[in-house]
Amino acid sequence: MRNRKILRDRLAEGETVFGPFMKLASPQIVEIAGLAGFDFVILDTEHGPLSFETVENLVRAAEVVDIAPLVRVYDKNTSLIVRSLDVGAQGVLVPHISSAAEAESLAETARFAPHGERGVCRYVRAAEFSSLDRYSYFDKANRNTLVIAMIEGEDGIASLDEILSVSGIDVVFIGPYDLSQSLGIPGQVTDARVVEKMRKVADAVRSRGKVVGTFVDNAEAARRWADLGVQFISISVDVGLVYNGMRDTVVALRGEHFED
């Protein structure tokens, strides 16, 4: 195990981190991501079939190889956020944050008092099933939990200044695919209109001292956004990475051509 620092601390120190979304209910894939050198995995309950029981086991797999497990919940519902953290996730991504009120609710739900109103239960995996000292657990959870607000449409961008005023949001994550749909050009994430919106959001977030995150399809795009100061970069999805590896092998074997 590499005994890395907590992801939230690494971002606060200015590191740039990379990791894929995960849809497969496979502890082995999570372990492979860690062994390959990624910094985090995002266990996707919004666009994937994962149950919380499965998520808990994937979190265990992440801990084996010292890669930070994060969970994208499928709704802003507070119980989904709390359950993700209770099974041991180091952080949560919450989709479609479009107002200061939604950002405030997220920040308060993800941390215990005095920094929030997270539901309290010591008898959960995150507290080592009550074996941790209760006060140490509350303090550790507040210090280590990474809170990520996903801005995915023009409504969120319109409220960005108010969202950035909310204390307790660590990363503002720009969702390029949903943003492209909001602009009426779904899937065209490299279109100049999408890129310009993303750059303006990134500049505004960084000017307020917060970390910017986004999703990219490939390493070239990851390097481009990293050069622009984006620190939290989700690159591709486990199923896509597996498919690309298999496809490239078939191409090498048969000389066939596949369209992306």
Catalytic residue numbers, as ranges: 47
What is the DSSP secondary-structure string of 7-71?
HHHHHHTT--EEEEEE-S--HHHHHHHHHHT-SEEEEESSSS---HHHHHHHHHHHHHTT-EEEE
3-state secondary structure of 202: helix
Residue 141 CB coordination number (10 Å):
21
- Provide the 8-state DSSP code for 128: G
What does the block give as tokens for 215?
């999703």
